[in-house]
Structures are given as C-alpha cells and as structure tokens.
Amino acid sequence: MAGEPQDDCLFCKIVAGTIPATVVRETDTTVAFRDINPQAPTHILVIPKAHYKDAATLGAQAPQLAAAVLAETQAVADEEKLDSYRVVFNTGSGAGQTVWHAHAHVLGGRGMQWPPG
C-alpha cells in the first residue's frame, strides 16, 4: 500500500535505520543520503520517508510530500555548495529505476552533458 513501509524495500530499511547510510539531511518527511555508487563528485539521494514506488505515484498521491522532496534537493545543493546541479527522478525500469521507492538524485560537482544518455 502506498505510504506504508515495505519489508523488501532498501530505502524503507534506510529510513528505519536497519541498513546504514551516510545521511546528510533529515526532516520529518524526508531523508537525504550519499549514493553508494556515485555518478558525480556529489551524488545524493533525497527520498520521502513514506513509501511510494516512483515519482509518478508520489506526485499523484502525495503532492505535498513530492514538493517536500523537491525542496530538500535545493537544501542539499545549498549545503553542498553547488551553484549548478542536476535533479533526476527515474520512473520505471526503462528509465533506469532500480529501487522501487521514489527518490531524487542530486548530481553536481562536474559539468553535465545533454542529452544525459
């Protein structure tokens, strides 16, 4: 069920504290932590604490929480002193989503190319 923790979800386990992560920010509704396989000098994931399978579901079912995730991407960029950065939401396996818990990638610290791949 949307919003409820999932026993088999890696990110739900990070929220619960049963799997360690390098947390850089936390609010009542979000957690931001460093990606274990960074694709840029700065690569931080911002996730809602509540489980939504992808960005589309999060946006449709909890738009205020989606806004909180997006606001946290700016807070992360500010703390990391990124004057330019990329925010990516992968939705679906064809787009590269591998963890089925909505999350935003904050990427920075190097020049970004377009198209992204």
Is 103 catalytic? The answer is yes
CB 34 within 8 A of CB 43: yes
Determine what percent of the chain is predicted with pLDDT higher than 70.
Answer: 98
Among the listed residues 43, 51, 103, 105, the single catalytic one is: 103
Q: Which tokens is 59 given?
A: 């946006």
Write out pLDDT tens, residues 60-111.
Answer: 999 999 999 999 999 999 999 999 999 999 999 999 999 999 999 999 999 9
What phi and psi values does residue 59 have, to the nearest 5 degrees? -65, -40
What is the rounded CA–CA span in Å between residue 80 and residue 14? 21
β-bridge pairing 42-48 and 104-108: antiparallel
Determine what percent of the chain is predicted with pLDDT higher than 90.
Answer: 91
pLDDT score at 116: 80
Which residue do the tokens 């806004």 mark? 67
What is the rounded CA–CA span in Å between residue 57 and residue 20? 26
What phi and psi values does residue 37 have, to the nearest 5 degrees? -130, 70
Q: Measured between alpha carbons, how far apart are the two ends of the chain, in Å?
A: 33
Residue 1 clears pLDDT 70, i.e. is over it: no
User: Looking at per-residue confidence, does 32 or 114 come out higher?
Assistant: 32
CB 80 within 8 A of CB 42: yes
Domains of the chain with CATH codes: 10-108 (3.30.428.10)
pTM as predicted = 0.95
